[in-house]
Amino acid sequence: MRPPRIGLISVHTCPLAALGGKETGGMNVYLREVARHLGRLGLAVDVFTRSQTPGVPAVVPLGPGARVVHIEAGPQRPMPPVEIVAELAAFIDGVEAFQRRIPGGYALLHGHYWLSGLAAIELARRWGRTPVVQMFHTLGVVKNALADDPSEWVPQVRLDAEARVAGLADRIVAATSLERAELAWYCGAADDRVRTVPCGVDVDLFSPGSAAAARARLGLDAEWVLLFVGRPAPVKGLEVLLQALARLKADGLARADVRLVIVGGDRDQGRDDERTRLRALADTLGVGAWVDFQGPKLQSALPDYYRAADLCLVPSHHETFGM
């Protein structure tokens, strides 16, 4: 007897992508680990994502029972999510074409982010109401409420999509009780269709260790090591963190041996406008010598950074996964 097959959908970002870029972060880790764990439980899992790199294999193993399926839809390059809306029909057609080759089809569709929710809802309609479980990861209406400037608002097409998917999905996964409340308040999601499932931690990878040894491996010799890990996006609050460092320096810590290590960002520094802006801000505030932009790192390297730090800082204005 074949194991039930689940279709995970992540239109705009791939679980295999390098972490820390503009569209890669916690969601990529979440997708990858959920798929792998479901596979280890004996389920068959396909993660559908839009192909962004010419020549990438159509199917890439992700672990026992799990694989990533790259669907060609539009230009094979990274695109802002709102621009992918025009390619969504091609993506859905590509998933359906792949599904025709799968004996028995899919017992469940699990959408991640608003674009994927739209795809899952349409595929479920075509396939005769396959159950849909949705996780938004972040809500556009909440981002708009927190935005400092109208230029940071998400487009109406996203807000409309989130409301539609929230109304049609069979179940919605919220990472925290706050997100569950936001889904009801902003999107009108019925509470009996929402389940709160906190995120897990890979305790085989992330474990305590010697701070001194970790600092030696990373080449960090400052007396005080502060750490930020994440995308250098406005919602992450790095600007506030740099201003806090400047305040500390002005309040009598000018001679302190401090290093703020920032892990994350685009591999190509020339394309990382936010990192460039933050570096200039740090210099303007007089704390440029304290700040070390290390760029993105493999997840396997992150435990040493956490071990090396005296403090891990989370200055985010909002985090769907909890703070």
Is it the case that residue 22 has pLDDT exceeding 60? no
The pLDDT value given to residue 23:
53
Q: Could you give the angle at the alpha carbon of 50 between the alpha carbons of 48 and 55, nearest 5°?
A: 110
The verdict on 306 and 238 lying in the same domain is: yes
Domain stops at, among 136, 161, 196: 196
Q: What is the C-alpha to C-alpha distance for residues 276 and 229, in angstroms, rounded to an integer?
A: 17
The pLDDT value given to residue 88:
97
The residue ranking higher by pLDDT, 18 or 234, is: 234
Is it the case that residue 113 has pLDDT exceeding 90? yes
Residue 98 CB contacts under 8 Å (≥ 6 apart), including other chains: 46, 48, 69, 71
Is it the case that residue 61 has pLDDT exceeding 90? yes
Is it the case that residue 322 has pLDDT exceeding 80? no
The residue ranking higher by pLDDT, 290 or 129, is: 290
Only one residue has tokens 């990529």, namely: 28
Candidate from 117-126, 267-276, 281-290 with smallest mean pLDDT: 267-276
C-alpha dihedral sign at 14, 19, 24, 30: positive
The pLDDT confidence band at residue 269, using thresholds 50, 70 and 90, is low
Domain stops at, among 196, 231, 252: 196
Do the domain assignments include residue 230? yes
The verdict on 131 and 279 lying in the same domain is: no
How confident is the model over 123-168, as pLDDT tens digits?
A: 999 999 899 999 999 899 988 887 777 888 899 999 999 999 999 9
The pLDDT confidence band at residue 102, using thresholds 50, 70 and 90, is confident
The verdict on 93 and 68 lying in the same domain is: yes
Tokens in use for 256?
């302190």
Mean pLDDT for the stretch of residues 69-81 = 94
Q: How many domains does the chain divide into?
A: 2
Is it the case that residue 303 has pLDDT exceeding 70? yes
The verdict on 125 and 38 lying in the same domain is: yes
Is it the case that residue 18 has pLDDT exceeding 80? no
The type of residue at 211 is A
Mean pLDDT for the stretch of residues 289-310 = 93
Do the domain assignments include residue 318? no
Residue 75 CB contacts under 8 Å (≥ 6 apart), including other chains: none
Tokens in use for 191?
């509470």
Q: What is the C-alpha to C-alpha distance for residues 6 and 34, in angstroms, rounded to an integer?
A: 11
The residue ranking higher by pLDDT, 228 or 200, is: 228
The pLDDT value given to residue 304:
97
pTM equals: 0.84
The verdict on 171 and 216 lying in the same domain is: no
Q: Pairing between strand 59-63 and 66-71?
A: antiparallel
The verdict on 157 and 216 lying in the same domain is: no
Q: What is the C-alpha to C-alpha distance for residues 82 and 80, in angstroms, rounded to an integer?
A: 6
Q: Judge whether 138 and 155 are in contact, CB under 8 Å.
A: no
Q: What is the CATH number of the domain that holds 222?
A: 3.40.50.2000
The pLDDT value given to residue 243:
96
**What average pLDDT does the chain have?**
90
Candidate from 17-21, 148-152, 252-256, 305-309 with smallest mean pLDDT: 17-21
Do the domain assignments include residue 120? yes
Q: What is the C-alpha to C-alpha distance for residues 225 and 231, in angstroms, rounded to an integer?
A: 19
The verdict on 118 and 11 lying in the same domain is: yes
The pLDDT value given to residue 26:
76
Do the domain assignments include residue 202? no
Q: Judge whether 176 and 198 are in contact, CB under 8 Å.
A: yes
Question: Which range marks the domain in which residue 264 is found?
Answer: 211-312
Q: Judge whether 183 and 139 are in contact, CB under 8 Å.
A: yes
Alpha carbons within 13 A on the beta-carbon side of 319: 15
Is it the case that residue 45 has pLDDT exceeding 90? yes
The verdict on 23 and 132 lying in the same domain is: yes
The pLDDT value given to residue 258:
93
The pLDDT value given to residue 202:
87
Is it the case that residue 297 has pLDDT exceeding 70? yes
The verdict on 117 and 156 lying in the same domain is: yes
Mean pLDDT for the stretch of residues 45-71 = 95
The verdict on 224 and 190 lying in the same domain is: no
The verdict on 227 and 152 lying in the same domain is: no
The pLDDT value given to residue 19:
54
Domain stops at, among 145, 169, 196: 196
How confident is the model over 240-249, as pLDDT tens digits?
A: 999 999 999 9
Mean pLDDT for the stretch of residues 275-279 = 88
The verdict on 175 and 224 lying in the same domain is: no
Q: Judge whether 119 and 18 are in contact, CB under 8 Å.
A: no
